[in-house]
Structure 1
Amino acid sequence: MVSSLPLSSDDDQPLLANKSALNGHNGALVNGNGHASKNHDVSMSELSDEDDMPLSQTVKSEALTPQPPRHSRKRKAVYAETSSDDDTPLASSPGKARSAAIPMPGAASATTLPASSATAKGKLAAKREDDGDYASDAPKKRATNGKAAKAPPRKKAKKEESEDASTSDDDEPLVKKRAPPRRRAAKVKSEAESSDEESTPATPQKPAKRASKKVKDEASPTLETPKPKKRAAKAKKEEENGSPAKGKGKKKEEDEEGEVFRWWEQDPNDDGSIKWQTLEHHGVFFPPPYEPLPSDIKMKYNGRDVDLPLEAEEVAGFYAALLESDHAQDATFNKNFFEDWKKVLARYPPRDGTKITEFSLCDFRPMFEHFELEKAKKKALTPAEKKELKKAKDEMEAKYTSCLLDGRKEKVGNFRVEPPGLFRGRGEHPKKGCLKFRVRPDDITLNIGKDAPTPVPNMPGKWKAIQHDQTVTWLATWTENINSNHKYVFLAAGSSLKGQSDMQKFEKARELKNHVDRIRQNYQGDLKSKVMADRQRATAMYFIDKLALRAGNEKGEDEADTVGCCSLRCEHVTLEAPNFIIFDFLGKDSIRYYNRVPVDAQVFKNIRIFKQNKDDDDNLFDRVTTSSLNKHLNQEMKGLTAKVFRTFNASITFQRLLDENTLSKKTLQEKLNAYNDANRQVAILCNHQRSVPKTHDQAMEKMREKLRGFKYDRMKLRHVLFGLDSKYKKQKKYSADESDIDDDWIVEHEEQLQAKEVEKAEKKFAKDNEKLAEEGKDALDKSVLDERLKTIKDDFKRLTKERGTGKATLKREKPVDKLEEAIDKLEEKIKAFKLQIVDRDAGKEVALGTSKINYLDPRITAAWCQMHDVPIEKIFSKTLITKFPWAMEVNPEWKF
């Protein structure tokens, strides 16, 4: 088995490297055993990027090398209560680290809410998720005194939303599925809602037409859920009646959808106590052990081969895998790696007695070249071989992908434990390059039902502890060694528990509508308070409300220097008369936030007062902490935090922007552009930026080529039409030439078309022969392929003769009305594709997926799609539709 470098959490996104002469650096990024290193959202079908193939780490270092001191500046003490941005780890993947910065003019006025827009409250409880790394990021930290580190506290998973989730696949819309039928959303009430019904009229909602589906055999001891009998019987009857094969996939999909537990039609458990009655799962999936390199593959030190033990060789392979990435050119990364590697070498020294003391004398290129060769071999596998490997992998992981929750089969989210590797961090993280240890069973605490059997780990060892806490929703937890963060395994995004958390989060933000006017009046009054702490708190609330800033935390010396509102320093805020403030700082994930905004005169005055007699590295709000701010917000409204403000402002702004557009006579693409433009403005408000993709220019050129191809097809149809009836030449609709298509381009385009047709014919010939071989029949003679290729060649000879003549013929003749219809369809396609090009280019520096996943109430999108007859699959990927089933049945008239 060929091992590969572990796919790490989003802090580990690779960067392309420049060439270097030292240590054999010079080219492309691969993983620890020669496979391309990518983010963890890699498709399981891409076997060249197996995300869970490990390189083991048996070393349990006593302590990592202390980090060098940061630039000297005054710091406040780290407070015990941290902001909701950073305090609780989450099992899902956050967004990629990005560094682009774009101005955000006018953002201060983007979130104004009229008092008349307040509507009914929803649920009070809002579960929050963590913004941390993937739960399987690293093993628990070893205590420096030789004793085992303390187990994570027994507590409920803190209520927190995931802020900057990866967009990887979630923001790629599906276009093939049909829109779901319109259904009435179930009316959901909470105890708090009933207390305000008289003062705030609720949006009328009819009860759901269908009763919730009960799951049979809830106490089943296995993880298999039987299909509904009626649907299974219907499917069997259709098969007996000769239903077409192509319909089977659809029936299967309907079966799966029919098994979804409609928890939103029940009374969701939001009392903060018991979350489940029975819970059974198989634990987590540990990656296989490290497979050593061939005996002739050695790293070199001072020009000589070094005979490394497996433990030291594996860690060297981590670095060799990144040899041609930007990480290997980073001084901090190299320093931290070498310091940790020397600790491993001290415990497992080279067998030939080599003393490795200078990083500059290390040459990892032989290992890198071996990894490249292995990667090439994997890419060269036939589709059948790749399919077999994927099948074996899926079978090995199958039992870990689901659990039994109260007798229902639910999917598990991040069931794979991340293999060891080198921590890459986000932005300028001081610990990037440090060694992430292998997580073992004795590092992990499992949470299962009292009567559930204890899972057996798929590697030697015993679980650290087994508990039966029904008040939490995680299945497993451990502590990683880099930042001592608690990591958790949760259910998948589409599970009932996660769905309840999401709905409660958005209902909490929606409830804020009923309090926001009063809260704004209160902090406006405190802007002039004689108590400096109150004045600073009011000013911070002004920024959080108007600019959707994160609350922020004080950072330790071993953390990346990123800030939020409460941790702003004087150097981050510049005053510009008469009333402008310029913000310039690194926010979450080291993304630069730059914004020049006009503010109220009192706010401008307050900032000038707060900066008096302070140095640039002093805190601007020296009397406000994140915990004190959130405590005050909770007094204003139960459960209110700075994060709820951020969700509220994003959703209410999005709803307003969508409502401002009149789309009654617009095309589908124009509607999609309007939606994306509103999404883009919210993403800018929330500072969800990204660097321009390196392939953006290539993608844009490819789209422009495709547009020219449409125009070429239109030109050919026009020439055919003119040949049938010359009067069409005088009609303005058909008279315009394709100005961006010249003779040279036509020659190149037709050659490319011919090459594609030839390749298509050859692939079909090979596939036909494979099918015949499976059926035990004789293969097709090569003369069949030759005949097909000759036909293609003759067709393109005809096109060559037609060049420049203004005439054209079709393989099959069409009447005039059919030609007119075909030209009209191409006109619409060209118009829509031009809009797609504009939309793609406009969003090159903005990450739309993060706000769509975490900040925009999905019911806004579902209602908008129904109102404007837009298929939901054009906007939400299959992943998001699965994540938000409770939002898909909302009324078209629903408003946030």
Structure 2
Amino acid sequence: MSSSGSDDDVPLAKTNGHASQARAAAPGLSIRHGPVEDGTMDSNHGPNGLAKRKSRSSIKSVNYKAESDSDDDAPLAKRQKSQHQVLSDSEDEPIAKSKLPPPAKNTSVIHKANGNQSQGAKLAQVRADVEKAAAKEAKAIRAEERQKKPTPKKPVKDEDESDDEPLAKPKKRLSNGVAPAAKRKSTAVKAEADSESDVPLVKKAKKATPAGKAQAAAPAKKSSTPVSKKKVKSEEPEDEGEGEEGEEDEELKWWNAPKKEDDTIKWTTLEHNGVLFPPPYQPLPKNVKLYYDGKAVDLHPEAEEVATFFGSMLHQTQHVENPVFQKNFFGDFKEILEKTGGAKDLSGNKVEIKEFSKLDFKAIYEHYKAQSEAKKARSSAEKKAEKAEKDKREEPYRYCKWDGRREKVANIMVEPPGLFRGRGSHPKTGKVKKRVTPEQVTINIGKEAKVPDPPPGHKWKAVQHDNKATWLAMWQENINGNYKYVMLSADSAIKGQADYKKFEKARELKKHIDRIRRDYQKDLKSDVMADRQRATAMYLIDKFALRAGNEKDTENEAETVGCCSLKYEHVTLREPDIVIFDFLGKDSIRFYNEVQVDRQVFKNLKMFKKPPKEAGDDIFDRLNTSQLNKHLSSYMPGLTAKVFRTYNASYTMSKLLQSLEVKKNMTVAEKIKLYNDCNREVAILCNHKRTVGAAHEVQMEKLSERIKGLRYQKWRHKMMMLNLDPKLKKKEGAEFFERDPDMDEEWVLAHQKSLVEAERTKITKKFQKDNEKRAAEGQPPLPEKELKERLQAASELEAMFKKENKTKKVEPEGRSPSIEKLEASIKKLDERIRTLELQSADREGNKEVALGTSKINYIDPRLTVAFSKKFDVPIEKIFSKTLRDKFNWAIMSVGDDANWEF
């Protein structure tokens, strides 16, 4: 932090600053995206054209009032009136009355890259409508709740509402927006992440947030029954060998169970068999070697294993050709070489490995490539046998007994050693992930349960009985020092309860969102710098779904940032109100976006970048994530910046689905397209972007060919109709029987050839499967003569196409062909074509948008279930089997309620 916390609770004008040194470089904007025209940003310039700014010590006696904002170059302290006789654009007016700044409702994403201004305007309108509806609904919810409560003797009214429930506010706030110490206990609530149930105890705060308050405050007619963190126990004695179906039924109803008094207790009894470890390293054959400077070298097995990590992935050029990946790997490889005695030539002489460029891994790569191809070429029987053996080995570890119930475990095996990839531009990509031993693993299990045996010759690091934690085993990896956990699977009750809690907390935010937005809009012009920074950060998090960002040890972690940890160089300003964000976000994925903001937000960011700040300095130097979440918790227990992403995604999706116009004659594919369109808008609003994959164009081309092939089939069916009844040409018109212009003779011949080859491949694979089945049953294989007879069908198809091309006629196919049957077939082909065209449009629209991120993590799954019920769309068309298992609680709790609302 650039300033002490003691100064944050007073106006900047009254703080004791220190004189700053003059800098030779021109301060102000980052010009990484191009130069900024003179005069666009700073109004005061010195003789050299550099922006001038008084040192903090020179302004300590100047009074400040927030209503004068014409000093874009000035810090929060107000300049002397004599310095500013003329106000250029009435910036001293309240922000709501100023003509220049666009209103908050018009904030939108700007799509400069593709010139798609209409999409930006559309998103702006969506955002405006949603925020207006949210404010109206929040007031309605509070009014409804107030009717159910006894009227207080001395009600306190909102400053702009006569009928709203009062929001208790501390009389005085510090820089982090929390009440003074005397009041803090009654107003500040410990902030918790929306997925806290999934977080192991070692990561949690000692004191948990009181549970259930968010659910209890939700409107009675919309909120679901409060969730229990513990599954309902049967009153009858439980027999381990019986009642799996009964247990399943009981498990599916945990959301209807009465709420526990202490929801920090996650389980009463816990039994499991520990974790599996990857198999030991199998040394390379003697004829497969690593080469250095053209010579084969022998390595200690530990060093050889590390060499195979790199050699086996030569085909992954995005990694092995990355200089950072190569540097990190080579550094770790040399350390292991030194530790294990180094490399030796075939004569036993020591070889100094000094240069990465002289290493040759091709022989290792060819060895593993041959192994992979041989594995793929195995028969189905061999593959099934191996799978059966693997399943038998893993079965004892796949399930645990959680409060007497059988629950599936997500990751049963300790991560194998290898090379760390990371995502995006991770600085540690290529480093060696060391093999984890049992001595590094801590087991968490019930006191009465049998502790699983470690592998022979080993022992566990520790065994504990923490019933407030949801993990079964834990170890620390060597790359980033992060803890890894064995957890229950996504479809387990404990994970479902965590999801339920997350979405219920977002629903609770509905009651407070209008007040929060009103307050931070007001604080955008606060006299206190810390409050102004906090309000600006909240604006960015709410409007543009920026992650809050956490403080990091940049020497040991990837230099990723979020809103609160933005640096000077991450934000570029372009007059009058465009902000360009460019930084590494979560998982080291580059976040680049140009957005239009309120004029006051633009001024604030400009102020936060003022000299003496330069590259490397924090934009929000008086704010961190903890302070922001502490402030948010004063509005609602457990409210954190994370909740805004879930709320905005779910609430926006809810309003978009409510506005859908679904016609009665719409197909299921068309309805799914409408759903995906809504999901896409949410994903864009939440900045869920992805890089267009290299395979996208290939996939789109294949899809286009499939559509074209169906149109060709449709044309052939029409020609069959004409063959049955030549009079149809006059009745339907010649155009009805014409082939599409893009299906020329060259394409037709190539397509016919591909159909013949596809038929041959199909017949050959069927023949091979039949032989595998016969071999498994102990029967002799079918003779090759049988295959030749079967392939005759493909030859007949080829001959038929040749005849059609010659005679320009298509013979009717099938049994007892008729006009009616052919018309029915054409209708089915039209439906298939329409379905594929919708898929094609969907894929093209989604090529830069990650629909899965919003659908899985941020949109309340009950909205999808309600959509499915309301418009008669099978849920399996939207949720995969994995998601149906994960969100089974949502499917069951919504039931047939097609009108469920977020």
Q: What TM-score range do you get, normalising by the shorter chain?
A: 0.7 to 0.9
Counterpart-to-counterpart distance in 1, 2:197 and 2:701: 36
Q: Which whole-Å CA distance do the structure 2 matches of 1:290 and 1:774 have between them?
A: 32
In structure 2, distance between residues paired with 1:218 and 1:473: 25
Q: Give me the whole-angstrom Cα distance separating, in 1, the residues matched to 2:412 and 2:207.
A: 21
**Structure whose alpha-carbon radius of gyration is higher:** 2
| Aligned positions of 1:100-119 closer than 5 A | 105=120, 110=127, 112-114=131-133, 115-118=135-138
Mapped pair 1:699 → 2:688: no
Instruction: Tell me the equivalent position of 1:343.
Output: 335
1:816 to 808, 814, 819: 819
Structure 1 residues 294, 225: CA separation in 2 closer, same or farther (over 3 Å shift)?
farther
Q: What secondary structure sits across from 1:305 in the alignment?
A: strand
3-state SS, counterpart of residue 597 of structure 1: strand
Deviation of 1:331 after TM superposition, in Å, equals 2.2
Count of aligned positions: 717
Residue deviations 1:408-429, cap 9 Å, x none? 1000011111111122222222
Residue in structure 2 matched with residue 760 of structure 1 by the alignment: 762
Counterparts of 1:610-629 in structure 2 under 5 Å? Answer: 610-613=608-611, 614-629=613-628
Q: Which moved more, 1:782-791 or 1:675-684?
A: 782-791
1:880 aligns with 2:880: no
State the AA in 2 paired with 1:731: E
Relative to structure 1, the CA distance from residue 570 to residue 117 in structure 2 (aligned partners, 3 Å threshold; closer, same or farther) is: same
Secondary structure at the aligned position of 1:702 is classed as helix
> Residue in 2 aligned with 1:310?
301
1:893 aligns with 2:893: no
What residue number does 1:868 align with? 871
Paired residues of 2:194 and 2:642 also in contact (CA < 8 A) = no
Q: Helix, strand or coil for the counterpart of 1:697?
A: helix
Distance 1:322 1:829, change over 3 A: closer
Question: Structure 1-normalised TM-score?
Answer: 0.75
Structure 2 counterpart of 1:723: 723
- Asked if 1:370 corresponds to 2:372, the answer is no
Partners of 1:434 and 1:482 within 8 A in 2? yes
Give 1:214-233 correspondences, 5 Å limit. 226-228=243-245
C-alpha separation in 2, matches of 1:660 and 1:785: 58
Q: In the aligned structure 1, how far is the partner of 2:641 from the partner of 2:225?
A: 33
Contact 2:270 2:401 in 1 (8 A): yes
Secondary structure at the counterpart of residue 618 of structure 2: coil
Give the TM-score normalised by the residue count of structure 2.
Answer: 0.74
Alpha-carbon contact 1:125-1:271 (below 8 Å) kept: no
Deviation of residue 302 (structure 1)?
2.5
Cα-to-partner distance string for 1:114-135 (whole Å, 9 max, x where unaligned): 223348799x998644999xx9
1:77 alignment counterpart: none
Task: For 1:496-895, list aligned pairs within 5 A.
Answer: 496-555=493-552, 556-613=554-611, 614-665=613-664, 666-729=666-729, 730-731=731-732, 734-735=736-737, 737-772=739-774, 775=777, 780=782, 782-803=784-805, 805-889=808-892, 890=894, 891-895=897-901
Q: CA deviation at 1:877?
A: 0.6
Corresponding residue for 1:202? 221
Secondary structure of 1:306 counterpart: strand
- Note if 1:386 corresponds to 2:406: no
In the alignment, the residues of structure 2 paired with residue 159 and residue 578 of structure 1 have an alpha-carbon distance, to the nearest angstrom, of 46
- Select which of 268, 276, 298 maps to 2:267: 276
CA distance in 2, matches of 1:652, 1:342: 54
In the TM superposition, what is the alpha-carbon distance from 1:360 to its structure 2 partner?
2.8
Query: How far apart, in 2, do the equivalents of 1:811 and 1:619 lie?
Result: 74
Q: Whole-Å Cα distance in 1 between the matches of residues 723 and 137 of structure 2?
A: 61
CA distance in 2, matches of 1:781, 1:434: 54
1:409 maps to 406
Whether the 8 Å CA contact 1:274–1:471 is kept in 2: the answer is yes
CA distance in structure 2 between the aligned counterparts of 1:387 and 1:578, rounded to whole angstroms: 65
Distance 1:775 1:580, change over 3 A: closer
CA distance in 2, matches of 1:782, 1:125: 72
Maintained 8 Å contact 1:427/1:589: yes
Shift of 1:523: 1.1
- State whether residues 580 and 596 of structure 1, in contact with CA within 8 Å, keep that contact through their aligned partners in structure 2: yes
Q: Deviations over 1:156-200 (max 9, x none)?
A: 59999xxxxxxxxxxxxxxxxxxxxxxxxxxxx985368647xx4
> Match of 2:286?
295
Moved more, 437-446 or 581-590: 581-590
Residues 497-549 of structure 1 deviation map (CA, whole Å, 9 limit, x = unaligned): 00000000000001100010111111111111101000110111011111111
> Which one of 475, 487, 491 corresponds to residue 490 of structure 1?
487
Separation (CA, whole Å) in 1 of partners of 2:485 and 2:416: 15
Deviations 1:178-237 (A, max 9, x none): xxxxxxxxxxx985368647xx453287999xxx997698755x6x665449xxxxxxxx
- One-letter code aligned to 2:529: M
1:893–1:459 CA distance, 2 compared to 1 (3 A): farther
Deviations 1:227-248 (A, max 9, x none): 449xxxxxxxxxxxxxxxxxxx
Question: AA paired with 1:576?
Answer: R
Taking only aligned residues, the RMSD between alpha carbons, in angstroms, comes to 3.2
Q: Which moved more, 1:355-364 or 1:263-272?
A: 263-272
Once the 2 structures are TM-superposed, how far is the Cα of residue 775 of structure 1 from its aligned partner? 5.0
- Answer yes or no: is 1:263 the counterpart of 2:262: no
Q: Distance in 2 between matches of 1:315 and 1:131?
A: 37
Indicate if the aligned counterparts of 2:579 and 2:594 stay in contact, CA closer than 8 A.
yes
Distance in 2 separating the partners of 1:156 and 1:605: 38
AA aligned opposite 1:662: E
- Asked whether the equivalents of residues 280 and 403 of structure 1 are also in contact (C-alpha less than 8 Å), the reply is yes
1:112 counterpart letter in structure 2: E
Partner of 2:213: 192
Hey, what does 1:36 align to over in structure 2? none
CA distance in 1, matches of 2:724, 2:498: 64
Q: How far apart are the structure 2 equivalents of 1:484 and 1:218?
A: 45
C-alpha separation in 2, matches of 1:128 and 1:418: 27
Contact 1:225 1:408 (C-alpha < 8 Å) held by counterparts: no
What is the one-letter code of the residue matched to 1:700?
Answer: M
In 2, Cα distance between equivalents of 1:795 and 1:360: 55
Q: Is the 8 A contact 2:191 2:640 kept in 1?
A: no
Which among 394, 400, 424 is matched to residue 427 of structure 1? 424
Paired AA for residue 329 in structure 1: E
**Secondary structure of 2:532's match?**
helix
The aligned amino acid for 1:753 is: L
Higher relative contact order (CA 8 A, sep 6+): 1
User: 1:599, CA displacement in angstroms?
Assistant: 1.9
Secondary structure of 1:740's partner?
coil
Q: After superposition, what is the alpha-carbon deviation per residue over 1:724-764, rounded to whole angstroms, capped at 9, x for unaligned?
A: 22343332694453232222222222222222222323333
SS at match of 2:633: helix
AA partner of residue 740 (structure 2): E
1:563–1:585 CA contact under 8 A, matched in 2: yes
One-letter identity of the residue aligned with 1:712: Y
Residue 791 of structure 2 aligns to a residue in which SS?
helix
Task: Spell out, residue by residue over 1:656-692, the C-alpha distance to the aligned partner (whole angstroms, 9 max, x if none).
Answer: 2222221133322221111112212222222222221
